[in-house]
Amino acid sequence: MKRIGVLVFPGFQILDLAAIAAFELANMHLERPLYRVEMLSETGGPVASSSGVTVDSKRYTASKFDTLMMTGSLTIAPTSEALCKILRSGRRNARRVASICTGAFGLADAGLLDGRRVTTHWAFAQELQRSRPLAKVQPDRIFINDESLWTSAGMTAGIDLVLALVEEDLGVDMARLIAKKLVVYHRRAGGQSQFSALLELEPKSDRIQLSLAYARAHLREGLAVEELAEVAHLSPRQFSRAFKAETGQSPAQAVENLRVEAARALIDEGRLALGVVARETGFGDPERMRRAFLRTLGQPPQSVRRVARQQAMAA
């Protein structure tokens, strides 16, 4: 029996609990209780979520858990010392420690993130990095597994994380079957983006928006700064300065992100060889595309293709 402890606290986000359905469905398909999910809190008893829905909980004791999961909340507040002690105890006594969404701040307050690759909801990633400078925060990831520490992005990304935990325990076929029951894709790859490249950039002026639209429509071309500046009717120096001020990225970084996004979409379709995808999206060759994928997504195109094929088989 694998005990799954889910830590809740006053004001936790109720949607985070949706992910535990994957454990329940695993038990159903196995026709035996492999997972036992327990709601845990500092004191035990009813705990109200931010929406007002209350769940019952047990008081945490330092007994053995297979997995200890920390829920998140809509706003960030310091984690109580009692909860920090629970998380540190779980680090010693549980096989895996995980967080959903802003639950990563609880792990940070407990001192569990230093030196680790982690993620959280994109809107709070910079705050997490500022509060824990020794953590390696990767804001554009769905979930991250760093040895026995697991963290996920916002809210529904917790489902992807739990499916990955089930896959680690029971294999890809069981995870795929549960995903179908949940009516979700066989989990998104951990390196998949939380949001689109253009949404991330959010340019303010028409000139920068026009240059980005041009870049997206002409990814096969060189897209030098001079070319984009001409579209925006600015000098290259003015364009680069304005682009950085409005988007927080250099033109070269933005173009690379657009190319990675377009290449990933073509890879997901599964019709083109990777060399063709590289040419169609302006990378020129597979090696250059591979390096860009590693910088942006943390995984090579081959991994993205493998997950896409698994999803196609599930469908």
Taking Cα atoms as reference points, which of 123, 7, 22, 89 lies closest to residue 55? 7
Task: Kindly state the average pLDDT of the residues 152-172.
Answer: 90
Q: What is the domain class of 197-314 according to CATH? A: mainly alpha
Average pLDDT over residues 91-95: 92
pLDDT tens for 4-61 read 999 999 999 999 999 999 999 999 999 889 999 999 999 999 999 999 999 999 999 8
CA 172 vs CA 64, 258, 311: distances in Å: 26, 30, 11
Start-end of CATH 1.10.10.60 domains in the chain:
197-314
Reading the block at residue 49, the tokens are: 């979520």
If you average pLDDT over residues 287-315, what whole number do you get? 81
Between 43-52, 69-78, 105-114, 134-143, the lowest mean confidence (pLDDT) is in 134-143
Query: pTM, whole model, 2 decimals?
Result: 0.64
Is the pLDDT confidence value at 282 over 80?
Answer: yes
* H helix intervals, the chain: 21-30, 81-93, 103-109, 125-131, 157-170, 172-182, 197-201, 206-217, 225-232, 236-247, 251-269, 274-280, 286-297, 301-314
pLDDT digits (tens, 9 = 90+) for 108-125: 999 999 999 999 998 898
Tell which residue, 85, 94, 106, has the closest CA to residue 9.
106
What percent of the chain is predicted at pLDDT more than 90? 65
**DSSP annotation of 124:** G
Catalytic residue among 6, 47, 98, 101: 101
Contact 272, 227 (CB under 8 A): no
Supply the pLDDT for residue 292: 92
What value does the mean pLDDT take over residues 137-155?
87
- Degrees (nearest 5) of the Cα angle 65, 113, 35? 20
Q: Averaged over 219-229, what is the pLDDT?
A: 93
Strand ranges in 15-126 using DSSP code E only, listed in sequence order: 35-41, 47-48, 54-55, 58-59, 65-70, 94-99, 117-118
What are the residues whose beta carbons fall under 8 Å from the beta carbon of 65, sequence distance 6 or more? 3, 4, 5, 90, 93, 94, 95
Is 101 part of the annotated catalytic residue set?
A: yes
Burial (Cβ within 10 Å: 0-12, 13-18, ≥19) of residue 96: buried
244-261: pLDDT as tens digits: 998 888 999 999 999 998
Over residues 203-220, mean pLDDT:
87
pLDDT at 179: 86
Q: Is 215 helix (H, G, I), strand (E, B) or coil?
A: helix
pLDDT at residue 198 in the model: 60
Q: What backbone torsions phi and psi does residue 59 show, to the nearest 5 degrees?
A: -70, 135
Q: Which part of the chain has CATH 3.40.50.880? A: 2-182
Q: Which residue has the higher pLDDT, 188 or 60?
A: 60
**Which residues sit opposite 74 in a β-bridge?**
none
Which pLDDT belongs to residue 315? 42
- Dihedrals phi, psi of 8, to nearest 5 degrees: -120, 160
Q: How many CA atoms lie within 13 A of 196 on its CB side?
A: 6
Start-to-end CA distance of the chain, whole Å, equals 31
pLDDT of 266 reads 86
2-182: what fold?
Answer: Rossmann fold (3.40.50)
